[in-house]
A and B are shown apart, each in its own frame.
Chain A
């Protein structure tokens, strides 16, 4: 018989994984892995500010993630540095500022490890409601934005020329990313959120023939990773967030193995782009 806390963890993790699947595919296709990482790292600054201002944690993390992504867009317009370098600067400086602020606030005791690596076993029913509610909202938004997002991933100019308003879709996509990061922080932690976005998507690529199929498969692989990871952590007494990521990695490695009937030339992950 499974404990109540374990059921809650499963529900929370699976709900999150179903949401991060399609979102993670977009991150992979648009080569925004580092961008996602940057937004996730800025979450610690959000945590620190929420403590400092006694604001709602979720809203604070969401707001900081949005602010950082807008700041990045602004800096990119200036063209002084490459997007890569700007991401590096924003990613680590927001994380560092967050850590410094937390250290200054000697009057609060916070579980830093919980924020960095997640504490899925401590989720409440309220958290689960938030995860599933937020997740359904994110997925419905993606369905609505799917065509412009896919089209602008292939070519921004093409989407713009043919009237799909890709800029608006991109802004919405960033807001959804910020929302998912705010929700996911408690489950897998700031350091591991992007793993849950990218690894199931990379696994799904090996089996998918269309973007839509890849999005669905990424959700499924993510959910399987959560279940495997949580049971693994239960029986081996390992930290739950990292265990989920390790399970996702195992699935990815298995997906790389040659399968019967698979054309050998098909190796989309390791190759360059056309």
Chain B
């Protein structure tokens, strides 16, 4: 992640050896991370790995106890925090929430709500929204600010599956259209992969990083998730074949074929799961092949 010559002006945030300590314990340590214009970086890691802490360090909500974090002057941040509770005693409409940290022109406000599919909720009180609707409103608020850097801490929590895919697609589109940098936290690598440029795998420190394809294949990554996150389906099982980026299948014996076979034992007729079309983060059944990231969908089934 070292800056290449000529890219220095595109850098939004640089973290070098950054660490933060609370009550004698290092929450994260030795974080090196560079966020650039037009780049989507996704932080993944088990609970307590310091994903949110790292994001807060990057945008200055937390100050590093060690190392340095430098941000571009006048960096405009749009932030969707992981947790947000509005006290019921505060009357707050979606419209007012949109103007929370700065005034917004009406057109921009309407367009952002349109983008996250909740234009009809503009006058609704935020306390009456469902979790998914509220999350959309928060995302709309963040993007309406025209930020240089969008920081999204689990932006689709509580959003239904169809909406989740649409929102990730929207996040990719925002990057393409506005060229902002995006730092995202997600526990669901399946869905975010298509848009993400760099995945950083955290567990108190940076375990590994790279393209989604490279990270999901790395030993560090499998060890981390295989051991601690059985909920994420595709690491903790016996693979007998692997789907290659070009759509072909590599079997355990090393042979390569164009398709996987019925005897590979997955997602063919008679099976009650349906992950060839949808990957729910909650699914935890054993399927026995790896879905390579970077592919927009599976080539078989």
Contact in complex: B90, A271 (CB < 8 Å): no
| A258 on interface, CB distance cutoff 8 Å | no
With A162-B102, A211-B96 as contacts: A153 and B90 at CB distance below 8 Å: yes
CB under 8 Å from chain B, chain A span 109-154: 147, 150-151, 153-154
Interface stretch of the complex, out of A182-190, A201-209, A226-234 = A201-209
Chief secondary structure at chain B's binding surface: loop
- List chain B positions with a Cβ less than 8 A from chain A: 23, 56, 59-61, 77-79, 81, 84-93, 96-97, 100-102, 127, 145, 151
Q: How far is the CB of B21 from chain A (nearest CB, A)?
A: 14
Q: How far is the CB of A84 from chain B (nearest CB, A)?
A: 16
Minimal Cβ-Cβ distance residue in B for A271: B88
Contact in complex: B91, A151 (CB < 8 Å): no
Q: Which residues of A contact B101 (CB under 8 A)?
A: 147, 151, 158-159, 162-164
Q: A151 CA to B103 CA in the complex, in Å?
A: 12
Q: A205 CA to B81 CA in the complex, in Å?
A: 26
Q: Which residues of A contact B127 (CB under 8 A)?
A: 268, 274
CB under 8 Å from chain B, chain A span 227-274: 268-269, 271-274
Q: A164 CA to B101 CA in the complex, in Å?
A: 7
Q: Which residues of B contact A162 (CB under 8 A)?
A: 77-79, 101-102, 145
Q: Which residues of B contact A104 (CB under 8 A)?
A: none
Contact in complex: A155, B81 (CB < 8 Å): yes
With A162-B145, A274-B127 as contacts: A157 and B91 at CB distance below 8 Å: no
Contact in complex: B91, A211 (CB < 8 Å): yes
Q: Which residues of A contact B91 (CB under 8 A)?
A: 205, 208-211, 213-214, 268
Q: A269 CA to B127 CA in the complex, in Å?
A: 12
Other-chain contact of A210, B85, B86, B88, B92 (Cβ < 8 Å): B92
The listed residue with most B CB atoms (<10 A of its CB), out of A150, A202, A214, A274, is: A274
Q: How far is the CB of A89 from chain B (nearest CB, A)?
A: 22
Contact in complex: A268, B79 (CB < 8 Å): no
Q: Which residues of B contact A147 (CB under 8 A)?
A: 100-102
Chain A-chain B contacts (Cβ-Cβ < 8 Å), number: 87
| A168 on interface, CB distance cutoff 8 Å | no
Q: Which residues of A contact B145 (CB under 8 A)?
A: 162
Contact in complex: B77, A163 (CB < 8 Å): yes
Contact in complex: A161, B84 (CB < 8 Å): no
Contact in complex: A272, B77 (CB < 8 Å): no
Q: A154 CA to B83 CA in the complex, in Å?
A: 11
Contact in complex: A157, B86 (CB < 8 Å): no
- List chain A positions with a Cβ less than 8 A from chain B: 28-31, 79, 147, 150-151, 153-155, 157-164, 201-202, 205, 208-211, 213-214, 268-269, 271-274
Q: How far is the CB of A86 from chain B (nearest CB, A)?
A: 18
Q: A159 CA to B59 CA in the complex, in Å?
A: 11
Contact in complex: B77, A29 (CB < 8 Å): no
Other-chain contact of B100, A158, A163, A205 (Cβ < 8 Å): A158
Q: A217 CA to B84 CA in the complex, in Å?
A: 26
Q: List 28 A-B contacts (CB under 8 A).
A: A29-B90, A31-B87, A150-B100, A151-B100, A151-B101, A154-B84, A155-B81, A158-B81, A161-B59, A161-B60, A161-B77, A161-B81, A162-B77, A162-B79, A162-B145, A164-B101, A201-B89, A205-B91, A209-B93, A210-B92, A210-B96, A214-B91, A268-B88, A268-B91, A273-B85, A273-B88, A274-B88, A274-B127
Q: How far is the CB of A274 from chain B (nearest CB, A)?
A: 5
Q: Which residues of B contact A31 (CB under 8 A)?
A: 87
Q: How far is the CB of B4 from chain A (nearest CB, A)?
A: 28
Q: Which residues of B contact A163 (CB under 8 A)?
A: 77, 101
Contact in complex: A205, B97 (CB < 8 Å): no
Q: A162-B101, A210-B91 are in contact. List 4 more A-B contacts (CB 8 A).
A: A161-B59, A162-B102, A209-B91, A273-B88
Contact in complex: A158, B96 (CB < 8 Å): no
Q: Which residues of A contact B23 (CB under 8 A)?
A: 79
Q: How far is the CB of A28 from chain B (nearest CB, A)?
A: 5
Contact in complex: A273, B96 (CB < 8 Å): no
A-B interface, 4 closest residue pairs, ranked by CB to CB distance from nearest: A161-B79, A162-B101, A29-B90, A268-B88
Minimal Cβ-Cβ distance residue in A for B91: A208
Contact in complex: B90, A269 (CB < 8 Å): no
Minimal Cβ-Cβ distance residue in B for A164: B101
Contact in complex: B84, A28 (CB < 8 Å): no
Q: Which residues of B contact A214 (CB under 8 A)?
A: 90-91
Minimal Cβ-Cβ distance residue in B for A31: B87
Contact in complex: A274, B151 (CB < 8 Å): no
Minimal Cβ-Cβ distance residue in B for A208: B91
Minimal Cβ-Cβ distance residue in A for B82: A157
Q: Which residues of A contact B151 (CB under 8 A)?
A: 161
With A162-B78, A205-B91, A210-B91 as contacts: A155 and B84 at CB distance below 8 Å: yes
